[in-house]
Amino acid sequence: MESKLGSRLPDYEVIKPLGRGAYSYVYHVKYRSTSQEFALKIIEKQVVVQKNLTNRLLNEIKLQKRLNHPCIVKFYHSFEDEDCIYLVLEYCAGGELFSYIKSEGRLSEDETRMLCSQLVDGIDYLHNRGILHRDLKLGNLLLSEDRTLLKIGDFGLAVKLSNYSEERSTLCGTPNYISPEVVNRQPYGLAADLWSLGCIVYGCLTGNPPFESPDIQTTLLKIKDMSYSLPNYLSDDAETLIRSLLSWNPDERLSIQDVKNQPFFKSQFFSTLDTRTLQSPTLILSPVSKHRSATYVDYTETIISPEKPGKYDLPRSNRKIKSLKQDPFATPRSKPIVIKMPLSTANLLPFKHISKNRVLEINDKGWVIVNMNNRQLEVSSDGLTVIYQGKLTNFREMNNNCAKLYQYAQTALDLVRSKTPKIKLQIKDAMCMLMWNEPYPNFEVDFENGARVCYQIGSGKLYVHPLTGGSFEISPSEDYEHLDQSLKNIVDTTLEGLKCCIDEERKLKIT
């Protein structure tokens, strides 16, 4: 496999193999034109067909590509050639939590707390979107190089439920971590992941998951009988947490919110996540290829039909503009709005947008002021201080109406950021602008002859508006040799401009 890779994937340099799964090979690779490092998961099509894995794979791609959370392995891109399907994933240099625990014997309570609180944040993000992972285990949790950051991976068995109480009945998961209701083939829901969390916490603290045994049948029997023991070196808080997660009855099991309030985790929550998410994320771009030696097809875009927007879907980038026009008070939602990250006006210039019934302003102190339907919200530039209807509060203690306006302000700022240049470079006859929105910045090019290109890097689409009219969209990974010379020049200049802007952006970060 490895020897063939170089010729198959000229855009990538293979750094080293990372391992093999039951159906895949995973390599640490560098994307040559930007030097970004990824984990490249390669699945042979023959195996997909033989093992009837098409649905599993499609599911993995469809779900994971929509997720964006610091505690979840980022899915960047997928493509295929004649023989294989390639998934470009965030590279986690620390490897699996499973291997780390094996090398350490077991982890201290502090280290377990530090890592498992991130796992809880990741599960919370998934459950908020109605996603049940169904295969949470030490081997599917990956670590950063220094082993302080944890990320949930492998979404092959994950499902999106249509509501929080929907239940599933397929027997799946990894025996050591599956819940009694799954073993007993009872309908199961989000609580099944909480059971697995209990097994993971136990595994971190003791070195092995609680129901481990030499054969699967014995493991399943032990789960049914709830036969496990708690070593006496565990603290009372750890013991209480494990017992309340390994509760036989899923209705009595802790929910993910309850877990956050457990004494074991103390104040670990939010402090972990905030420091991670508030760091400015590294600029990562969807890999772009112009090589013709492999037929690059954006697998996700071509074979997966877009799902209807579900109850738990995040707004897609092209829906953001729409959402600005919606009145957040017009569609009351029964679920409380939880704002996890404070907004920020860093890098944005003073700005005022007035439309019917609403005003959005960033003043010269960087405060955001939203006025809508006679309700006023003022938010400090770091998003932490909030004044709603003249009353001072903070972003953790907003009531629902205030949170709706806050959410509106966040969406609007995203849009402003996607229109605010971070890097401006003149390349040949074109002005190239890389915008401030993250993690996928927009990229726009204005040609002297009046043509324009907008590249929504997150969507992988170039929108070309040539001077001659008749705009069209292409994916930069497509072969565009068929275009006439003037259009090819536009695309070439755009890709070259993008590369220069990224280089510039890098240099600026270094200095």
DSSP one-letter string for 210-264: TT--SSHHHHHHHHHHT-----TTS-HHHHHHHHHHS-SSGGGSPPHHHHHTSTT
> If binding is defined by CB under 6 A, does position 457 make contact with ligand ATP?
no
**Residues in 108-167 that interact with ligand ATP by CB under 6 A:** 139-140, 142, 153-154
Stretch that binds ligand ATP, among 20-28, 267-275, 283-291, 427-435 (CB under 6 A): 20-28
> If binding is defined by CB under 6 A, does position 91 make contact with ligand ATP?
yes
For residue 337, the Cα-to-chain-centroid distance in whole angstroms is 20
Contact 494, 442 (CB under 8 A): no
> If binding is defined by CB under 6 A, does position 423 make contact with ligand ATP?
no
> If binding is defined by CB under 6 A, does position 19 make contact with ligand ATP?
yes
Judged by CB, which is closer to ligand ATP: 125, or 408? 125
Q: Cβ of residue 424: shortest distance to ligand ATP, in angstroms?
A: 34
41 in a known ligand binding site: yes
The identity of residue 380, as a single letter, is S
Whose tokens are 């990538």? That residue is 12
Contacts of 114 (CB under 8 A, 6+ apart): 148, 268, 272
Catalytic, out of 135, 193, 298, 414? 135
Beta partners for 176? none
Q: Cβ of residue 100: shortest distance to ligand ATP, in angstroms?
A: 11
The identity of residue 223, as a single letter, is I
Task: Pick one of 90, 167, 239, 382: the residue that binds ligand ATP (CB under 6 A).
Answer: 90
Judged by CB, which is closer to ligand ATP: 79, or 408? 79
> If you compute the radius of gyration of the chain from its CA atoms, what whole number of angstroms results?
24
H or E element in which residue 461 lies: strand 461-465
User: What values do phi and psi take at 373, rounded to 5?
Assistant: 45, 45
Judged by CB, which is closer to ligand ATP: 154, or 478? 154
Q: Is the peptide bond between 439 and the residue preceding it cis, with omega within 30 degrees of 0?
A: yes
Contacts of 208 (CB under 8 A, 6+ apart): none
Judged by CB, which is closer to ligand ATP: 129, or 137? 137
383 in the Ramachandran plot: left (φ > 0), alpha (ψ -120 to 50) or beta?
left
> If binding is defined by CB under 6 A, does position 20 make contact with ligand ATP?
yes
Contact 19, 26 (CB under 8 A): yes
Q: Is the peptide bond between 17 and the residue preceding it cis, with omega within 30 degrees of 0?
A: no
Q: Cβ of residue 212: shortest distance to ligand ATP, in angstroms?
A: 17
Q: Cβ of residue 341: shortest distance to ligand ATP, in angstroms?
A: 24
Catalytic residue flag (residue 429): no
H or E element in which residue 125 lies: helix 109-128
Q: Cβ of residue 138: shortest distance to ligand ATP, in angstroms?
A: 11
Judged by CB, which is closer to ligand ATP: 89, or 423? 89
Rounded CA separation 383/369 (Å):
11
Task: Pick one of 13, 37, 47, 95: the residue that binds ligand ATP (CB under 6 A).
Answer: 95
Rounded CA separation 427/399 (Å):
49
Q: How many residues does the chain have?
A: 511
> If binding is defined by CB under 6 A, does position 101 make contact with ligand ATP?
no
Cα angle value 437/441/445 (rounded, 5°)? 120
Rounded CA separation 220/171 (Å):
12
Judged by CB, which is closer to ligand ATP: 22, or 330? 22
For residue 473, the Cα-to-chain-centroid distance in whole angstroms is 25
**Residues in 36-75 that interact with ligand ATP by CB under 6 A:** 39, 41, 73
Task: Pick one of 22, 330, 392, 510: the residue that binds ligand ATP (CB under 6 A).
Answer: 22
| Closest residue to ligand ATP: CB criterion | 21
Stretch that binds ligand ATP, among 89-97, 196-204, 243-251, 452-460 (CB under 6 A): 89-97
Q: Which two tokens stand for residue 327?
A: 């009145």
Judged by CB, which is closer to ligand ATP: 20, or 419? 20
Contact 47, 99 (CB under 8 A): no
- Select from 191, 189, 231, 239 the least CA-distant residue to 207: 231
Contact 224, 147 (CB under 8 A): no
Judged by CB, which is closer to ligand ATP: 139, or 207? 139
> If binding is defined by CB under 6 A, does position 288 make contact with ligand ATP?
no
User: What is the 3-state secondary structure of 164-185?
Assistant: CCCCECCCCCCHHHCCHHHHCC
Total residues at the site for ligand ATP (CB under 6 A)?
21
Q: Cβ of residue 350: shortest distance to ligand ATP, in angstroms?
A: 41
Query: Among positive and negative, which fits the CA dihedral 166, 167, 172, 177?
Result: positive
- Select from 277, 279, 256, 246 the least CA-distant residue to 125: 256
The SS3 call for residue 447 is: strand
Judged by CB, which is closer to ligand ATP: 29, or 368? 29
- Annotated binding-site residues read 41
- Annotated binding-site residues for ATP read 41
Q: Could you list the active site residues?
A: 135
Residues that bind ligand ATP (CB under 6 A): 18-22, 24, 26, 39, 41, 73, 89-92, 95-96, 139-140, 142, 153-154
